[in-house]
Amino acid sequence: MAKKQSREASHAWRHIFIWGMILFALFPIYVVITSSLNNSGGLSTSSLIPKKISFDNYRSLFNDDSIPFMRWILNSIILASLNAVISVMVGIAAAFAFSRLKFKGRKLSLQALLLVQVFPSFLALAAIYVIMERIYNVFPSIGLGTMWGLLLVYLGGSMGANAWLLKGFLDSIPADLDEAAKIDGASSVQIFWLIFLPLSVPILIVTTLLSFIGTFNEFVLASLFLQEVNERTVAVGLQSFVGSNFGANWGAFAAGSVVASVPLVALFLSLQKYVVSGVTAGSVKG
């Protein structure tokens, strides 16, 4: 009995500490939700407990013609999902070659890939800008200022990390499997499509999700590329509400944040188990 009490006491610090951390974690989320329901304009103006609840901010988000909020969300979803799907598909193919096929310069290119994937692509920002400007002069639809140009830059940027992560997974698939298939006369293309791709579905989901979240959060390149109001992503659009020193519209920003994050948080929590295994495998969220 005494022992049990002392154990409970030794657990007390855990509860206190954890509750402190939970308050810390939830405070901004609480503030943004109450601010979105408050039409007076700030992130919590006078009190932390809302006195009056109003849905004006949400209404203006969907009805105000000067705020193409749904377009922004759509742009972000199109960019993030195309980038995630294409880069993961192209990535898994490359990962298969690096993991299973023999070719000249394989080890060297792998080491190069390992180094390249640690560099964030926006470090070469000025160069990307100049290059895409030149591309724009020849091909206006895929150059600077367009979503498709931005998608190309994103694809290049996510290729290295995705290929590396996926190769790590493919390495863990036992070699007996493809050797047996080879003896049965299967070509590498068949082995890839019929054996490796089906086996990789879980890791493909994780990589796609992480890629999607990464692109959804990307701000620098998007703000440099997309100047037109209608072309913006949700990150650039929401920042424009509060980025200027004058006339910050925190209410609309808060409502927009709630709308945009609910699906993402739901997706994240529902795939929590996979995500945790994915991040533990070594990717850092951007």
Q: Which of 5, 107, 172, 184 binds other proteins (CB under 8 A)?
A: 107
Helix (H, G, I), strand (E, B) or coil at 281: coil
CB of 59 to other proteins, least distance (A): 20
CB of 162 to other proteins, least distance (A): 9
Which 114-143 residues touch other proteins, going by CB under 8 A? 114-116, 118-131, 134-135, 137-139
* One-letter identity of residue 209: L
Reported as type and span, the H/E element at residue 248 is none
DSSP assignment of 99-147: HH---TTHHHHHHHHHHHTTS-GGGGHHHHHHHHHHHHHH-GGGSTTSH
CB of 45 to other proteins, least distance (A): 5
Nearer to other proteins, 65 or 228 (CB): 228
Q: Where are the alpha helices (DSSP H) in the chain?
A: 2-36, 56-63, 69-100, 106-116, 125-138, 147-171, 175-183, 188-190, 197-199, 201-217, 220-225, 234-242, 250-270, 272-280
Check residue 145 for interaction with other proteins (CB under 8 A): no
Check residue 264 for interaction with other proteins (CB under 8 A): yes
CB of 24 to other proteins, least distance (A): 7
- Choices 45-53, 54-62, 63-71, 178-186 (CB under 8 A): range interacting with other proteins: 45-53
CB of 201 to other proteins, least distance (A): 18
Which 197-236 residues touch other proteins, going by CB under 8 A? 213, 216-217, 219-220, 224, 235
